[in-house]
Chains A and B, each alone.
Chain A
Amino acid sequence: MVRPKEGILDPQGEAVRGALPALGFGDVETVHVGRLIEMELENADDVDSMCRRLLANPTIEEYEWEVVG
């Protein structure tokens, strides 16, 4: 999961937050839009390195990852 770092302007999140009250969901305080990257691999040793070097840009984004299944 990659998303904008705290404090980095997230215009997509803002636009979604602005749209929710129109549907009656008025009590949403913050929305952040990120992206979910799914990978199939044999072992997860290099995932952190993949995140730092390509999947996320540490200047503007933060990431977290987990092994499922």
Chain B
Amino acid sequence: MKIGVTIFPGSNCDRDALHAVELMGAEPVELWHADADLKDSDAVIVPGGFSYGDYLRPGAIARFAAVMGPLEEFARDGGPIIGVCNGFQVLCEAHLLPGALLQNTHMRFACDRVRVRVETTDTPWTSGCNVGEELTLPIAHNEGNYFADAETLARLEDEDRVVLRYLENPNGSANDIAGVCSEGRNVVGVMPHPERVSDPVLGSDEGMRILRSVLAGARV
């Protein structure tokens, strides 16, 4: 299985993500922002960082990078995509996920390990978890405060599209939301960083519960 990792100017979790893909036993594929195709990737990780310096709004400029065209097509075709942190912000700006990430309500950068609960296993990125399973994952963000209008939030809850929920809300997110999925369920966005806890040498490999899930759906 080939797993692509997009690299924008200012991405800074791309190496971690590529390393995690190797540990998963899959083939890591670097997807440069100017690339016009996904190089036969079977799944794509949009990693964290500060793409384009977070200028204008986080993700606002990355959303128009060349690689996003084929990525949007891949999303429409049901390809599994996960956006982590800045990647989540990029996918919201690209309208592949609903809502937006606002500045943390306490106005401070949130850098911590937080407990989250897996709310649905009906996504390619949580299919290997259990509903209600709790994970400890790192967060590192200034704009992680998930916002969507009341109608959208109600829909996300009704359609079982909240993927991860904080046990203790670190940033003001609506409904304690740490991650959501698209209507087609194949596109997932999460603020916590599974790739930063993908190897026991990093102190934990709990993030692999999420990342490895995608292997189960591998198109062989």
- A residues touching B (Cβ–Cβ < 8 Å)? 8-9, 11-12, 15, 54-55, 57, 59-60
Quick one: closest A residue to B57, CB to CB? A57
Q: Which of B57, B60, B99, B105 has a CB less than 8 Å from the CB of A9?
A: B105
CB contacts under 8 Å to A, within B139-179, are: 145, 147-149, 172
A12 touches B107 (CB 8 A): yes
B107 touches A15 (CB 8 A): yes
Quick one: closest A residue to B172, CB to CB? A9
Residues 60-103 of chain B: 1 if any A CB is under 8 Å from the residue's CB, otherwise 0? 11001000000000000000000000000000110000011011
A11 touches B105 (CB 8 A): yes
Q: Which of B93, B103, B107, B172 has a CB less than 8 Å from the CB of A57?
A: B93
Q: Which 8 A-B pairs have the closest CB atoms?
A: A59-B100, A60-B100, A11-B107, A11-B103, A11-B105, A57-B57, A57-B100, A15-B107
A12 touches B102 (CB 8 A): no
With A54-B56, A54-B60, A57-B57 already in contact, the answer to whether A11 and B104 are too (CB < 8 A) is yes
In addition to A54-B61, A59-B147, 11 A-B residue pairs with Cβ atoms within 8 Å of each other are A8-B147, A11-B104, A11-B106, A12-B107, A54-B56, A54-B60, A57-B57, A57-B60, A57-B93, A59-B92, A59-B148
A48 to chain B minimum Cβ distance, whole angstroms, is 17
Pull 15 A–B residue pairs with CB atoms less than 8 Å apart, ordered by A.
Answer: A8-B147, A9-B102, A9-B105, A9-B145, A11-B103, A11-B104, A11-B107, A54-B56, A54-B61, A57-B57, A57-B60, A57-B100, A59-B99, A59-B147, A60-B100
B146 to chain A minimum Cβ distance, whole angstroms, is 11
A50 to chain B minimum Cβ distance, whole angstroms, is 11
A18 to chain B minimum Cβ distance, whole angstroms, is 10
Bound complex: CA of A12 vs CA of B102, how far in Å?
11
